[in-house]
Amino acid sequence: MAANIDPNAGRPAGPESLVDVPGLLSAYRTGVPDPGEPSQRVAFGTSGHRGSALRGSFNEDHILAIVQAICLHRRRSGIDGPLFLGRDTHALSAPAMATALEVLAASHVTVMIDAREGYTPTPAISHAILGYNRGRERGLADGLILTPSHNPPADGGIKYNPPHGGPADPATTGWIERTANLLLSMGLRDVRRIPYERARNSSDLRRHDFRSAFVADLPNVVDLEAIRRSGVRLGIDPLGGASLDYWAAIIDRYGIAAKIVDESVDPTFGFMTRDWDGQIRMDCSSPYAMARLVGLRDTFDVAVGNDPDADRHGIVTRSDGLMNPNHFLVAAIAFLFTHRPGWGPSSAIGKTMVSSAVIDRVAAKLGRRLIETPVGFRWFVEGLLGASLGFAGEESAGAAFLRFDGSVWTTEKDGISLGLLAAEITAKTGRDPGGLFRELASDLGASVYERLDAPATAADKARLAILAARPPAIVELAGEPVLAVDAVAPGNGAPLGGLRVRAKNGWFAVRPSGTEPLYKIYAESFQGPEHLRRVQAEAQALVAGFDPPQGAPR
């Protein structure tokens, strides 16, 4: 399962690789999904429903069914406050938002859209929900974001955030998914909808200044004055996404020495460099997708890239280029828990089971409790909301942390505040986050970490589910005794959806992607690259050689 790197990876995308936007939008309007085809049904992964109109997995019918299901969910849950609605810069996000408005208006839901009718980052939606609901017990708000995150330009996505402001829990998304698929199977006959112009002129449609509220509140979570005084030069690449105008407003308001290196917004994302597989993908954790900013690393003291909905971050330093996401998480945790005196002594560290074990060692050094969860930021929402988690992060370059006073900032990943945190670290320690990580690694032990991706069919994912439920006996990993085989998270007992095998100096985990047709093998070694390859090889052999027990579904 070694990654097959496309020869064009890291190179500019050519005209032949660009999506046909008019054809994509036509497919959105005219395509009719087949409810009997699993790939064309509504499927909420770890972060909403994603697909493409060209594959029959993200068409107008999907949005009609999903938003009607959300309206029904609001009614059954007693959620009757406003719904904050936003979108990113993907081509399908605009028509999907229009469709959503038609359904929401028909159900007389008060909808708050951007006052400038611009793009809205995911963390700004979370911030707005939390701000509106603060101090309220009734009339609570929730939110919808039209985004497939970092997915390719032909994809669309929709995710629902309940009144807690973060990703919905599995029970909620499961109910919405089942209801939406029932509506699809019934030919959408129970979907309420009014024409777009009527929805636009409805008295239930309101405006909200997401940007001003978010930007004005940032000094309560990041020390912007220290960044300004230090003169730290911050490079910024929004990757053509929703953070562009937010970064411009931050630079203007706070006078920091920052520069946006590319202000392009283009639904084909033709300005991007190709990702590892030759596709255009706005993945700010990929050195191939981030090649432009990495090439400018000597121009800045530190730099940040965001994905199109700005819930993820990629940190670029002079010495490291694009930092491994785990390395930045380690540096961020070490810095925050020694520079936030307003956080209580019980504030814990949240990490996913597939994030680096160096985080475990940092937590032990800091004397902080570590909470391990399955993949998906939804598992951190309760801890951030109640401030029992000071910091929560995922290996896929998504994280959030508390305000200076120890209260919640967002319950969604926030790539903007994490980018500013990289500048704060540089300003206050005199070294960039890469330098801070190397210092920590020299004390706690250096590791080699890698994630491998491979295509996965529905049948492949079903086999992995059986592997997690009925793991074979595993006693040794790369020459060391196995310490634990985990199918559920130690922090909350929720299923990983795969399997993790741990030894003293290495571990691996295997699980299907919740957002793409892939399965993933994560591995880490504290004994170097050769040992890592042994760990990976044994993980691949386990997956390839696993034969479901007789009678198990295949």
- Give the contacts of 285 (CB within 8 A, at least 6 positions apart): 312, 314, 322, 325, 396, 397
Tell me how far CA of residue 387 lies from CA of 295, 404, 444, in angstroms. Answer: 38, 11, 27
Mean pLDDT in residue range 424-448: 96
Neighbour tally for 296: CB within 10 Å: 15
Q: Does the pLDDT of residue 407 top 80, yes or no?
A: yes
Span 219-261, pLDDT tens digits: 999 999 999 999 999 999 999 999 999 999 999 999 999 999 9
Q: Sheet with 142-146: list strands edge to edge.
A: 44-45, 48-52, 155-161, 142-146, 83-87, 111-114, 205-208
CATH number for the domain running over 17-211: 3.40.120.10
Helix, strand, coil % over all residues of the chain, rounded to 5: 40, 20, 40
- Closest Cα partner for 151 from 438, 537, 515, 490? 515
Question: 207 near 114, Cβ under 8 Å?
Answer: yes
Q: Does the pLDDT of residue 554 top 50, yes or no?
A: no
As a three-state string, the secondary structure of 435-480 is HHHHHHHHHHCCCEEEEEEEECCHHHHHHHHHHHHCCCCCCEECCE
Structure tokens belonging to residue 110: 């008060």
CATH number for the domain running over 224-271+284-444: 3.40.120.10
Q: Does the pLDDT of residue 549 top 50, yes or no?
A: no
Q: Does the pLDDT of residue 2 top 80, yes or no?
A: no
In this prediction, residue 1 has a pLDDT band, given cuts at 50, 70 and 90, of very low
In this prediction, residue 3 has a pLDDT band, given cuts at 50, 70 and 90, of low
Name the DSSP class of 260: E
In this prediction, residue 466 has a pLDDT band, given cuts at 50, 70 and 90, of confident
Q: Does the pLDDT of residue 508 top 80, yes or no?
A: yes
Span 364-396, pLDDT tens digits: 999 999 999 999 999 999 999 999 999 999 999
Please tell me the predicted confidence (pLDDT) of residue 467. 83
Any idea of the CA torsion for 515, 2, 415, 111, to the nearest 10 degrees? -10
- Closest Cα partner for 326 from 296, 373, 349, 359? 359
- Strand, helix or coil at 495? strand
Please tell me the predicted confidence (pLDDT) of residue 515. 66
Please tell me the predicted confidence (pLDDT) of residue 343. 97
Please tell me the predicted confidence (pLDDT) of residue 546. 63
Question: Which is catalytic among the residues 126, 149, 355, 356?
Answer: 149
- Strand, helix or coil at 88? coil
Token pair 């408005």 in the structure block, residue: 101
Fold for 448-545, please state it. Answer: TATA-Binding Protein (3.30.310)
Strands 302-306 and 313-317: antiparallel
- Closest Cα partner for 123 from 93, 166, 154, 80? 166
Q: Specify the domain boundaries for CATH 3.40.120.10 within the chain.
A: 17-211, 224-271+284-444
The sign of the dihedral angle between the CA atoms of 394, 499, 513, 187 is negative
Please tell me the predicted confidence (pLDDT) of residue 83. 98
Mean pLDDT in residue range 188-213: 98
What is the C-alpha radius of gyration for the chain, rounded to an integer number of angstroms?
Answer: 23
Please tell me the predicted confidence (pLDDT) of residue 550. 43
Span 5-49, pLDDT tens digits: 999 999 999 999 999 999 999 999 999 999 999 999 999 987 799
Q: Does the pLDDT of residue 545 top 80, yes or no?
A: no
Active site residue 52: no
The CA distance from 245 to 498, in Å, is: 39
pTM for the whole thing?
Answer: 0.95
Token pair 């199109």 in the structure block, residue: 308
Q: Which element (helix H / strand E) includes 207?
A: strand 205-208
Q: Specify the domain boundaries for CATH 3.30.310.50 within the chain.
A: 448-545
Look over the chain and give the mean of its residue pLDDT values, rounded to a whole number.
95
The CA distance from 13 to 18, in Å, is: 8
